[in-house]
Amino acid sequence: MAAVALTPGQSEALSELAEIVRINDRRIRIEDVRDPQQEGQPLAVDMTIDCRGETTTDSSVRLEDWEPVTVLVPPRFPFEHPEVTVPHQRFAGLPHVMWADAICLYLAANDWDPGRRMHGFVGQLLTWFEEVARGTISGPEVPWHAPLTHWRTGEYLMIRTDLPESLENDRGLWLALAVVESIGGGLYDVRRWLRGRDEADEIRAWHDRRASEDDVDARTGIFLAPAVALPEPVGFAYPNGREELLAALAGQGLAHQDYRELREFTRDFNRGIRDGDGQAPDLLLLGSPAPDRYAIPSRIAHVAAWALDVGEDHDEVGWLTVFDQRPRITTRRDTTRPAQWLVGKRILVLGCGALGAPTAEFCVRAGAAETYVVDDGKVRPGVLVRQPYTFEDIGRNKATALAERLSVINPDVLVPSGSFDAISLINGDPPMPEVDLVIDATANRSVASALEWARWTAERPPPPLLSMMVGHDCERAAATLALPGASGAGIDILRRLGIAASADANLYDLLDDFFPGHPRGAPFQPEPGCSDPTYVGSAADLTAFAGQLLNDGLAILTSAEKAHGRAFPRRWASVARTSTAGAAGAARQRLSWANDHVRLDPVLRYQMRVDPAALASMRREVALMADRRGPHVETGGMLLGQIDRASRVVWITDADGPPPGSAASAEGLMLDPTAARGWARRRRRLTRGMVAYIGAWHTHPDYLALPSPVDRRAMDEMASDGMPVLLMILGGGSGRLSRWVAGNGLPDMHLQLFFPGPEDGRDASVLP
């Protein structure tokens, strides 16, 4: 047969080799050049390398004076690296040697630098021989290569389940059974390992019960395959002939009688079982250990799958391609990344839109045990530009369509769905599932308020809550994370982020995006009709933001778990920006806050959250008044914050001294409400309404923290202009006030809301 023409790359490689030989004429010789005989074959160059006198006493292999090698130059050189083989097996077992005669100079394709061409390749080869000669060669920290199997059937076997400990600890020859499921399309999945035939009875009973319940004649899907664990390494390749393979197995102790009996048992068990492609296949799984020099974390380093019923009319053995994904020997590609926190966790994702859908997919791919998706919306044509739905999904419920798609990514992850609104779930209809993390991706204020209320009124400690949102032009995104024990959740932390942004030039762009002071002039309405005004953003934008925000939240959760009881902030916020946001702040920022001091109004059932900074301001004012007018004179001032009547939360963010027009004496403190609100107007404007006048605080230096009749009349008068107000009293009973001023403990605190209307101060608008 006439040789085919060399490719330009092969011709250049041959010229480069000739130049290398000329430069290194005393170390390298070209003995023969064999052109490819067919299109696509490599160019073979037989060479010898001078190794005279280089072998040391530390070397495990003594090199010949001239070592022969064959360099195989692929047609696509230099964009594909050459291979090198030797015509003997003296290097078998050395690092980088595969199948006894192939020297693997590159662990991965990316290790090859095409720019260095043959000079780089020959340099790598010479270095390998030098290290062998000195006895300094070391192997890569990867498992030994699987024994080579030859003729492939085109089918695939996936193994995702570790061997039982009893089999892992058995170093001898053992026979077991694999429970295999047919996935379809020539793909099979090992679901369980059985020690013996007795354990197969439960599989048989399951089959029979299923056939009876489904009223079907043929059992489907699950079948058995015998598994043999060999006590010694196979070597670099399995025999290609049937009789030769059986002889090799017998040489390791597998008696022909045992093999036949096990095969007959599984054939009898599998009779009548069909997979999606017809009759269940007849397989034999062969497990082999690695050589002693390799530290493999499993008794079985590699598994091969022999298709017993393929090629029975001739001697050649047929093999399945095996994807060995056993956790014991497989290193996940996302190991050490924040997504590792999700492994085995139960996740609830509220909202299956542009942020929620990719976030749910990230959870499934990470290996969460369960990813519950909830959304009552339907797929509209306009969302296809940025949400992972298809044309065929239009009109379907988002949660249902998403769950169907995610369930085929990882069959081990449950993806239940709920086609109802998130508020119903939060309110317990249906009951909220027990999960390890709640992700609110609805960007809905009502959902956030319902979550805020539900979390502080819950009887049991709630799980962490990660809330995500993007800005109106998709240039910024933010997430809040409430860890277990946090004094507030999504609305609480987002509000805290907004207050921080009002005082920080590096965050100020967030105010206009997430807390606009007035309605936007031209709301973006993507579709005609009754579609909700939304934001501009592409699939690339939203997927990138979803990944960043989720990663940051998971990194914080991981750090919190590693804190092991040490002080760790409970409230967090993350900010992400695009490169075109044009803001002073960094592309990614993370902020955290200590918990507020929490008290409850037992009558109205409002939760009061006092910022430590506000309490510190009160302490300074009390100390100042004690120095000026004596410890028995009441003092106080304004309370600044916000009253949220939906989540029934009152935030006391700051405290000022008494405004102009106030009177303080030993008998009490009187504030002018009009002057107080005017005094706080600038702060309200700067914070977009998040810090405004909400009431008054004062001290009872010599009495308990309980409102007097004078206090009640004063608060009723302050609430007479139609706005609810808060009364906060710091009491001095048992000397607690003076100890607090001195820096010890907290004072007695009384917090009570006063609403316009009923004299008892109850909120008639929300209470029966």
* pLDDT value for 709: 86
For residues 258 and 385, state if they share a domain.
Answer: no
Q: Does 721 fall in a domain?
A: yes
* pLDDT value for 375: 96
The answer to whether the CB of 382 falls within 8 A of the CB of 535 is: no
For residues 558 and 603, state if they share a domain.
Answer: no
CATH number at residue 356: 3.40.50.720
Question: How many domains, in total, are found in the chain?
Answer: 4
User: What phi-psi label fits residue 253: left (phi over 0), alpha (psi between -120 and 50 degrees) or beta?
Assistant: left
The Cα–Cα gap between 637 and 659 comes to 7
Half-sphere exposure of 640 (CA within 13 A, CB side): 28
* pLDDT value for 517: 72
Whole-angstrom CA distances from 190 to 162, 272, 409 are 10, 19, 17
Q: Does 640 fall in a domain?
A: yes
* pLDDT value for 308: 86
Containing structural domain, residue 12: 8-134
The Cα–Cα gap between 200 and 196 comes to 7
Whole-angstrom CA distances from 593 to 486, 574, 656 are 10, 12, 21
CATH number at residue 62: 3.10.110.10
For residues 284 and 159, state if they share a domain.
Answer: yes
SS3 call for 66: strand
For residues 563 and 607, state if they share a domain.
Answer: no
Handedness of CA 240, 244, 249, 254 (dihedral sign): positive
Last-in-domain residue among 134, 168, 201? 134
Burial class (CB in 10 A: 0-12, 13-18, 19+), 214: exposed
Last-in-domain residue among 105, 134, 163? 134
Q: Does 525 fall in a domain?
A: yes
Q: Does 126 fall in a domain?
A: yes
The Cα–Cα gap between 475 and 579 comes to 8
The Cα–Cα gap between 80 and 85 comes to 16
For residues 191 and 87, state if they share a domain.
Answer: no
Q: Does 435 fall in a domain?
A: yes
* pLDDT value for 530: 44
- Print the SS3 string covering 199-251: CHHHHHHHHHHHHHHHCCCCCECEEEEEEEECCCCCCCECCCEHHHHHHHHHH
Q: Does 336 fall in a domain?
A: no
For residues 361 and 422, state if they share a domain.
Answer: yes
The stretches in the chain having pLDDT less than 50 are 141, 215-219, 529-530, 666, 759-768
Q: Taking the CB of residue 135, how many other CB atoms lie within 10 A of it?
A: 13
For residues 104 and 88, state if they share a domain.
Answer: yes
| Cα Rg of the chain (Å, integer) | 37
Last-in-domain residue among 554, 570, 593? 593
* pLDDT value for 406: 96
Q: Does 61 fall in a domain?
A: yes
For residues 506 and 382, state if they share a domain.
Answer: yes
* pLDDT value for 519: 61
User: Residue 164: which of 118, 196, 119, 126 has the closest Cα?
Assistant: 196
Q: Does 759 fall in a domain?
A: no
The answer to whether the CB of 138 falls within 8 A of the CB of 37 is: no
* pLDDT value for 205: 67
* pLDDT value for 435: 97
- Print the SS3 string covering 333-356: CCCCCHHHHHCCCEEEEECCCCCH
CATH number at residue 258: 3.40.140
For residues 580 and 530, state if they share a domain.
Answer: yes
For residues 576 and 690, state if they share a domain.
Answer: no
User: Residue 146: which of 298, 335, 308 has the closest Cα?
Assistant: 298
For residues 285 and 351, state if they share a domain.
Answer: no
Q: Which two tokens stand for residue 715?
A: 């608060």
Tens digits of residue pLDDT in 633-650: 788 888 999 999 999 999
